[in-house]
């Protein structure tokens, strides 16, 4: 799913369906505000227990349409063995320069899956690299050197599966059903089947679990459903009377 447009918000994830699990509702909310959203999946899913890379590509495109995403592509990093190398950073930096996002969403850096943890650092360093005027590397010279340097203004981390206090919550209540539909577009992953049945949550429990997680984070912010994020910077407040979330 491609277009030539730039993006206001770019979500970068290791695998197709990661974004749907961690920040799909937030992308829906941003799209509803007229912002341009994009997803960069770094692998193609060739090492997954269920499904094939081609099946997951088709499902990812279906999910992107449900999320209102204007641009989605996948790189060809090694599924299950993503590495924070200069070559991989350059590939991501190329996308950042092309799309010129103001905000980049990355996975939180302390998680069970090694790929997700690696992508947190890999994505951050790619954002930095994309802003350098001179990149002295043969791979960069061969790939659209005419793209102007660009560095995102804000990098945030989707922390729904991390045992960490969020910096803030994005309310996704009006979009919770569409968020779930986007996740379930991955029939090769979440439909009940014999393959991987001991590893995957049964289809009938997925809705209960994902809604419960969103409800938990929503309650922290005084709303029904929410998605959590961490930022490394301190916040800045302009008007004390407009700070959201009631204290008592």
Q: Provide CB contacts within 8 A for 96, sequence distance 6+.
A: 10, 104, 126, 127, 130, 150, 151, 152
- Residue 145 pLDDT > 70: no
**Distance between CA 44 and CA 14 in Å, rounded?**
9
**pLDDT at residue 194 in the model:** 60
- Residue 197 pLDDT > 70: no
Per the model's pLDDT, the better-predicted residue between 195 and 79 turns out to be: 79
CATH (residue range 9-242): 3.40.50.10320
**pLDDT at residue 47 in the model:** 62
Question: pLDDT tens, 229-248?
Answer: 999 999 999 999 999 999 98
**Distance between CA 92 and CA 32 in Å, rounded?**
26
Mean pLDDT value of segment 27-42: 98
**pLDDT at residue 80 in the model:** 85
pTM tops 0.85, yes or no = yes
**pLDDT at residue 3 in the model:** 57
**pLDDT at residue 50 in the model:** 62
**Distance between CA 156 and CA 158 in Å, rounded?**
7
- Where along the chain do its domains lie? 9-242
**pLDDT at residue 58 in the model:** 92
Lowest mean pLDDT among 48-57, 106-115, 123-132, 161-170: 48-57
- Residue 87 pLDDT > 90: yes
């Amino acid at each position: 799913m491609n277009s030539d447009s730039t993006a206001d918000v770019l979500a970068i994830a290791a695998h197709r369906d990661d974004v749907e699990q961690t920040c799909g509702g937030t992308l829906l909310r941003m799209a509803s505000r007229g912002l341009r959203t994009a997803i960069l999946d770094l692998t193609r899913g060739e090492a997954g227990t269920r499904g094939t890379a081609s099946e997951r590509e088709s499902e990812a495109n279906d999910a992107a349409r449900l999320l209102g995403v204007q641009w989605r592509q996948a790189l060809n990093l090694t599924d299950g063995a993503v590495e924070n190398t200069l070559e991989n950073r350059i590939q991501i930096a190329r996308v950042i320069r092309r799309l010129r996002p103001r905000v980049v969403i990355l996975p939180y850096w302390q998680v069970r899956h090694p790929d997700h943890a690696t992508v947190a650092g890999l994505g951050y360093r790619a954002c930095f690299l994309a802003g350098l005027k001179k990149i002295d590397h043969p791979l960069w010279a061969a790939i659209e050197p005419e793209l102007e340097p660009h560095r995102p203004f804000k990098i945030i981390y989707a922390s729904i599966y991390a045992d960490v206090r969020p910096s803030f919550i994005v309310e996704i209540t009006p979009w919770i059903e569409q968020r779930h539909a986007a996740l379930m577009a991955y029939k090769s992953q979440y439909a009940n089947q014999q393959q991987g049945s001991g590893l995957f949550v049964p289809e009938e429990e997925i809705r209960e679990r994902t809604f419960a997680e969103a409800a938990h984070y929503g309650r922290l912010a005084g709303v029904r459903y929410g998605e959590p994020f961490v930022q490394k910077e301190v916040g800045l407040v302009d008007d004390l009377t407009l700070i959201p979330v009631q204290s008592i």
